[in-house]
Structure formats: structure tokens, C-alpha cells
Structure 1
Amino acid sequence: MSFDVVCFDCDSTLSRVEGIDELARRQGSFEQVAAMTDAAMNGEMALEAVYGDRLGVIKPDQAAIDWLADLYIAEMVEGVAETVKTLQENGKLIHIISGGLRQAILPLAAVLGIPDERVHAVDVIFDEQGQYVDFARHSPLAVSGGKARICRRLRMHHSSLVMVGDGKTDLEAKLAGAYMIGFGGVVKRPLVQEQADLFLAETSLTAILPYVL
């Protein structure tokens, strides 16, 4: 198999952390928020049911987002830089498609040489003092089915697309005709093991290379 476009989830795929949970831990509401995240990732609750609620609890300011951006980079999954570099050298277009917070993911993308316009995530809105106001409620990635919508958009221009990720929302790419590789190197979710086109449990992301080149 060979794909024109390789799309990656961010949390628990490119980086070992779940960003929203780490923001909650920093702010002191970890248990409450982690329970919501888990329910959404395991398919027990719709994403839209928890998305705004979690951010409403945490209210991450600009300083918190900058802190998370550094953490994403510090906790990069083994083999990520090598994987992205190899794919780019082979002419693959790399996109990040994440339900995470875009301003926190952009610095990681920059380290990997992925342009901002290929980072699809949810923008946070701050006031002039850098305090949390809201998030981009119109973003397709803040609701169920959003990753399928982004993949459909990409498939209008590219014939073959693969999505690599760890959670239920990554499986949605299959609805857009994408091939879905479940990455279990950080967390193994039974639903993803059952429904992914291919499931890899290796800790290094380089494990995907034989299947996407």
C-alpha cells in the first residue's frame, strides 16, 4: 500500500500526552476531566458532550497553552521525527488532524517541519490579557464526525489517504474512505484494536513505515 497523504492524530500518537488532561492536571481538575476524555475516546460519550465542558472547567490561558506546547515536544513519541522525515523524503503530504488545541500543537508541527496550514485542530480564543474566553465552536473537530469531514476535504484533492491514531475519533476517517492505522504504542483501546484496518502495538511510530510507503 502507498498513500499520497498521511494524517496523524496528535495526542497519544505524535506525543505521549493527552493535552487536555495535562492542562487539567496543571490546574487541579485532572480526575474530573480525565473521566470525560476517557468516555469520549472509548466511545461511551459523544465528543461534543464533553468538549466545551472540559474547557469550561480548565479555562486554559495563553501561559497554559505555551506550557502544553513545550510538553508536547518534550514527550514526543519514539520515532516521530524519523517517521515524518522519511515520509516527507518520499514525497508524502503530512497533515495533523486533532481534536486538541491548535495553538499548543503548532510548535510541535514546526519542529517536525509540518506547515501551519496542514495542522487541523481547534483554536482557543483569548482576550487581550491572554485569558481564556472560548474555543472555536464552529470547528468540525470539536464534534463527532469532524475527522471524517477533514479527511473528505483532503480526499477531494488526493486519491489515497491514511489516518494514524489511537482513539475512536480517528476511526471516523474510515467514513471518508481513508485507511485507518490504529497506533497502540502509547495507549491500546479495544475499540480501535477491533475496528482499525491495521493495529500496531509497537512503541515506535516507525512501525507504520512499511505499511504506508
Structure 2
Amino acid sequence: MATKEDVMRVWKCADAVCFDVDSTVTQEEAIDELAKFCGRGYEVSAITKEAMRGNLNFKQALTRRLDIIQPSMSQLREFIRTRPSKLSPGIKSLVDVLHRKCIPVYLVSGGIRGIITPVALELGVPLQNVFANRLKFFLNGDYAGFDETEPTCNSGGKAEVIRRLKEKHGYSNLVLVGDGATDAEACPPADAFIGYGGNVVREEVRAKAKWYVSNFKELQDAL
């Protein structure tokens, strides 16, 4: 059974770090914010809470939320332009330190890739290191669903992404940092999981995490 000290040891010799995005790298749940922007906030936030507690099949929750919002291409672009995601305090500095140490950083999210792309650019994370869900649109720009071949649209999708990364690159000390049930359940195959509660504390995640932090400076100092 891993201890906090075991997790800290893996962190100090990490050869790759995967971050969840919503409520971890950024301060908000982007799908909830998009729903508010499109006038469907109340209906969608209730589903998000159930999904984050692990009480709903993730793909069903994603489908239900997006079917309620029905975001058009123009709405999505306007949302990204006018309501950019806010980075969590300390994340830019931490990612900069990891990059200086030549430790690859990945963003692995059940959210929307188009919203996460500007976040990756702000952090200097290569876009090929972003794993998230791609929306589809009809020729007139109306919402047409999402790419169901992306592993991140399924329950266990983050674990599948991590398994593929380890298989492709041979990582042996891959650390996952996140705030939700979908993050906690992805260890293994992640070699260590660090729970993050700087934006929202999910008690079931705090209970599972051997190392739980509320400030990214704690992770940076531990390096």
C-alpha cells in the first residue's frame, strides 16, 4: 500500500507529469461555464457534480451535458474569446520548473479540446500533449456531437491515455495530478496520484489521495 512518502519519492524522480485541467490547471469547470454562457448553466452543473463524484458513467454525463448545451461553432469561439480560462495560482511556475528539468507535461481532460488549447499555449505545453474531447459541427456550424473515438470521452479514459503514454515512451515514474474521481481512478496505471484541492475539495478524492495539496507551490518546493 503506497504512502505519502512513496508518492513524494515518485514525484521527485518523475519522468512525466499529467495534469487534469478543469478545477486543477484552471480555476473553473469549463463545460459548466460554457453552459452558463449558452443559458443552460443550472441544468448542466447538476450533472457535472454527479459525474465528478463518480456517480454517473462519464460518457453518459458528457453526452447529456452537451445535448443540453448544444453549443454552435460560433458560440464556442465567442466563449473562448470573451471568457478565457483562468489559470490556478502557481501552475505556470510549476510547469515552467518541470519544463526546465526536461520533464514532459501532458494535459489530460474530459473537457473540450478547443477550450483547453489556449490554456496549453499559455503554459507552453505542446498541443500534441493535450488529450481531450473534440466537438463536431455540421457545415452550418450547429453542434453535431463529439468524437467518440477519443479515450477521454469514456469512463476510464484518463487511465487509457496514461497506459498509451507509458507504452509509447517507456515512462516508469509518471505522476497524475487532479481533483476528481476520474483522476484518482487512473492510478494505476499512473505510478502516483496527487490530489489537488486548491479550487474545490472533493472529499472522496481527498480520502483516496495519499498526498493531497491545495497549493502548487508545495509541489514545486518538493522538487
User: Over residues 177-202 of structure 1, what are the superposed CA-to-partner deviations in whole Å (9 max), with x where a residue is unaligned?
Assistant: 43111100000000110111311123
Give the conservation status (yes or no) of the 8 Å contact 1:151–1:178: no
**In the alignment, what sits opposite 2:137?**
126
| Distance 1:15-1:198 versus aligned 2 partners, 3 A rule | same
Residue 187 (structure 1) aligns with: 200
- Deviations along 1:135-173, one digit per CA (max 9) or x if unpaired, are 011221111100000111111221110011100001122
**Pair 30,147 (structure 1): closer, same or farther in 2 beyond 3 Å:** same
Q: Tell me the SS of whatever aligns to 2:111.
A: strand
Alignment check: 8 A CA contact 1:69 1:108 kept: no
Are the counterparts in 2 of residues 41 and 169 from structure 1 also a CA contact under 8 Å?
A: yes
Note the aligned Cα RMSD (angstroms): 1.6
* Shift of residue 23, structure 1, vs aligned partner: 1.0
Q: 3-state DSSP class of the match of 1:192?
A: helix
Determine helix, strand or coil for the equivalent of 1:77: coil
**Structure 2 match to 1:66:** 77
In structure 2, runs of 5+ residues without a counterpart are 1-8
Match of 1:149 among 140, 157, 160: 160
Percentage identity across aligned positions? Answer: 35
Count of aligned pairs:
210
Instruction: Describe the SS at the equivalent of 1:163.
Output: strand
Match of 1:15 in 2: 26
Please name the residue that 1:176 is paired with.
189
Q: Match of 1:175, SS?
A: coil
Task: State the TM-score, normalizing by the size of structure 2.
Answer: 0.88
CA distance in 2, matches of 1:70, 1:114: 20
Distance 2:149 2:206 in 1: 31
Check conservation: 2:172, 2:191, Cα contact below 8 A: no
The gaps in structure 1 that reach 5 residues or longer are none
Alignment counterpart, residue 126 of structure 2, candidates 115, 120, 141 = 115
Q: Which runs of 4+ in 1 moved over 4 A?
A: 70-74
Question: Given that residues 69 and 105 in structure 1 are in contact (C-alpha distance below 8 angstroms), is that contact kept between their aligned partners in structure 2?
Answer: no
Report the TM-score when normalising by structure 1.
0.92
